[in-house]
Structures are given as C-alpha cells and as structure tokens.
Amino acid sequence: MILPVSKNALLLALIALVCVTILGLVNQLTQPKIAEQQLANKLAILNDVLPENTASETLLADCILVTNPQLLGRPTPQAIYRLRDGGQISAFVVETTAPDGYSGNIDLMVAVTPAGTVLGSRVLTHQETPGLGDKIERRRSAWIDSFKGVQISPDNSVAWAVKKDGGQFDQFTGATITPRAVVSAVYNAGLLIIQQPGLANRPANCGASQ
C-alpha cells in the first residue's frame, strides 16, 4: 500500500516532469526566433557604424577573435568583423571595451578603415549614470558621432582626448570620466588595426568558438 506522503511525492514529481517537458518544447520552438532576432540586431548595429547597407551575413561570417587586453579592454577574446570590397578589406568592425567607465565596463563597436579612419562607433552596453554618462548612447545625444571621419595614428594620441585633457572631443557637463573612457577605447581599437596588419589574413574563427 502506498502511503499518502508517497502519493504526494509522486504527484509532485509528475508535475515537475510535465513542466520540464513543456519548457523544453517551448525552448525548441522559440530558439530559432531568438537566433533570428539576435542576427537582425547584430546586422542593425553593424549597419549603424558602416556605410549604408554594407552589413550582411557574409560580413558576420568573416570574423576573427582577437585577445588584446591593453587595446581591447578585456582579457577575453573580442570579435573583429572584416568588410571586403572586391576581395580587399575596406573596413574592420571591432568589438571593444572601455574598462574605465565611471560605473564599469562600456562595450562598444567601432568601424575603422585599414588606414585608421573611423567610419562610425556605437555603445553596445554600459552602466553609466542616467542623465549624465548615458549621453554616450546615440539615442541620448549625437556625441558618439564626433569620431566619424577622424583619423587615428600613433602620432595623434594627444588629440584623441577630451578637451579638458587637451584633446579635440567634448566632455559632458558634470561627467568627464565616461567620455574620456570612450574616446580612449575608440582610439585603441583603431590603433590595434593599424599596428596589426596581419589581421586581414587570419582565418575566420568566430563561428567555431561561439
């Protein structure tokens, strides 16, 4: 004879099994939609920093992982996408991090030509102060567009700073740390491209590691 407690335990186990099964089915059904949305979001950001309508799934596939804590801000690999025109690379899109934001890491995407001209940049994630540091977001202000068309080279590092530090870029009223960190991260991303021309010939490997 099964004791009442055992019956309750069996009932709970059955309910748990049903719930797990339902969650598994829901996950299988929604996973393709989630992946599709993630792809669309990634392409939208890439199109934001590149010349109009040049981002594609081909660009996403032509991706390498690079580890350079000094210039990319993280000890883990960061993705670099390579835009090609007639077989030649016309731009690199670098995922990079400003580790010295006011409230922590600021993740960015920076598009730069092989010669070091910035094509565009966008903030991906941050935890900066609302109303102050969040002006690095394109939807809050046009400040992030101030890098577009500006040249990066080892010789103009002094200019790549906020005006308070003797550079050419505006800081925010009441918030200097945040823009200072972003300016430095954008400069370092371009510097990496200039200093490592071999990045153009490395085999794509992002898909194998994701």
pLDDT in tens, 41-60: 788 888 889 987 787 888 88
Of 157, 155, 177, whose CA–CA distance to 166 is shortest?
A: 157
Report angle CA 76, 88, 183 to the nearest 5 degrees: 45
Q: What is the pTM of this model?
A: 0.81
Question: How far is 100 from 128, CA to CA, in rounded Å?
Answer: 11
Q: Which of 30, 25, 42 is nearest to 210 (CA)?
A: 42
Angle CA 180–77–162, to nearest 5: 10
User: What's the rounded mean pLDDT across residues 7-32?
Assistant: 66
> To which H or E segment does residue 45 belong?
helix 4-49
Convert the pLDDT of each residue in 157-169 to its tens digit: 999 999 999 999 9
Residue that is written with structure tokens 């949305």 in the block: 37
By percentage, how much of the chain surpasses pLDDT 70? 84
Return the domain boundaries, the chain.
57-209
Classify burial at 2, counting beta carbons within 10 Å of its beta carbon; exposed 0-12, middle 13-18, buried 19 or more: exposed
User: How many angstroms from the chain centroid is the CA of residue 171?
Assistant: 22
Query: What distance in Å separates the CA atoms of residue 114 and residue 62, rounded to the nearest whole number?
Result: 15
What is the reported pLDDT for 165? 96
What pairs with residue 109 in β-bridges?
95, 122
